[in-house]
Amino acid sequence: MFNHLALNLRNFVGRFVRETEGSVAVTFAIMLLPILFAVGATIDYSRANSFRTTLQEAIDAGVLAGAKDGSSNWVTIASGAFGGDLQIKYGSSLSDPVFTQTSSEVYAGTVSGSVPTSVLGVVHISSIPVSVTASATAAAPDDSCILTLDHGQPTSHVSLSLNGAPVINLSGCSIRSNTAMDCNGHDGNTTKSIASGVAADCANPQSYQPVVPDIYASLAKNITTQCGTSRPGVTWAAGSLPSGPGVITVSKANYTEYHICGNLTVSGSGYLTGSAPTADSVIVIENGSLNVANNASVSTLRTAIVMTGNNSYPSTINFPQGNGKSASLALSAPTDGTDPWQGVALYQNPALTNQVDDTWGPGANFNADGLVYMGNANVVTDGNTGSSNSKCSKFVMNSFRTNGSVDLNLNQQLDACSTIGLKEWGGIVVFLSK
């Protein structure tokens, strides 16, 4: 039956074609012209878009190279990066690129050309004009002593706030936020106030700057653990090495690791590992917090404190809370170039996200040379923060807020940072801004 139906259908179509082939041919011819024209125009515009993409990539390369150079010769550098082969390839259909500097940080370029058409010439469109522009911003390298990362927040979010009436003495460094900052009119003599959002009421504000990459999170790969689930805790009196089940000592090639199982409480006065250590030390606090006892005045030399754990216990830095109580903690980082913790005074594993926030009351004094990294911690302080001895400090936190008459006395000297091996986000950062 199906064969019979197919045969009848074929015969019907054959008769229809024979009887109407003349009119179909005319109709098809009329329809074919606009179809061919549309296909041809699409090809012309496709070639124009391809040309536009080529020019955009070239002008982007030009402004990026010029901005990175930043010298009085930047236009020549930009023109070279644009590519002389394009001028040869496209000849008179391509203008010379024009490069201008619209501000001290913004470098712009524009170029135009045309693409000859094939089919569109029938309707007197002999070419398709193409014009592209680009601009690049050259941002200064990061020289901040305080940097807030503010993970996952929009740039409008305030992560660095100077409330009260802080006394600020910054030498050779700035304060910086990967979102916004608010100095509430009490910014002291801030060298620079740099924000990826708005730097409101801050001295020497530089708003809408690029986000600083977190170059320190990768240091976590150097963390080793020994304690397992054990966490009896340790009290470490300055000048005498602790013992007992809460501490495990591991000798490395050029430094010693002290693994503290649980909370570490430091007390007394003086240096934890001695006033003249001949090698670096690393104190690894596992599943615990760092507590500074009342009236303690504890220092370190050539020592990194590393905080890590399984996220089940608080990982905080605790000072005595007001009411006449006070304590000081002064950290100085390892200096041996073979030590993976060189330049790091305190490091909190970025895998720790639970119970990591800190509140430091009046009487808290926290000084450090080198890096203090608490990338997920939100810190509120009524205490004082400063540099220690070698005058190179970088405090990196998720957010930072001061209350009351806080004293921020920080110092950043390039030669001092190089001496202790502090890794910084350096170099001029150049990015396309349009």
pLDDT band at 4 (very low <50, low <70, confident <90, very high): very low
- Whether residue 98 is predicted with pLDDT greater than 90 in this model: the reply is yes
Which pair of tokens denotes residue 165?
């009436």
pLDDT at 355: 97
Burial track 206-234 (b if 16+ CB lie within 10 A, e otherwise): bbebbebebebbebbeebebbbeeebebb
* 211 secondary structure, DSSP code: P
- Cα Rg, the chain, nearest whole Å: 33
Q: Which of 168-177, 209-218, 338-347 has the highest mean pLDDT?
A: 338-347
In angstroms, the CA 247 to CA 251 distance is 13
C-alpha 29: how far from chain center: 62
What is the per-residue pLDDT across 341-356, written as a single tens digit (0 to 9) for each?
A: 999 999 999 999 999 9
Q: Residue ranges of the domains in the chain?
A: 2-139, 144-426
pLDDT band at 300 (very low <50, low <70, confident <90, very high): very high
C-alpha 126: how far from chain center: 49
Label the pairing between strands 174-177 and 193-195.
parallel
Q: How many CB atoms lie within 10 A of CB 354?
A: 13
Work out the average pLDDT over 322-342: 90
Nearest to 44 by CA among 113, 112, 125, 132: 125
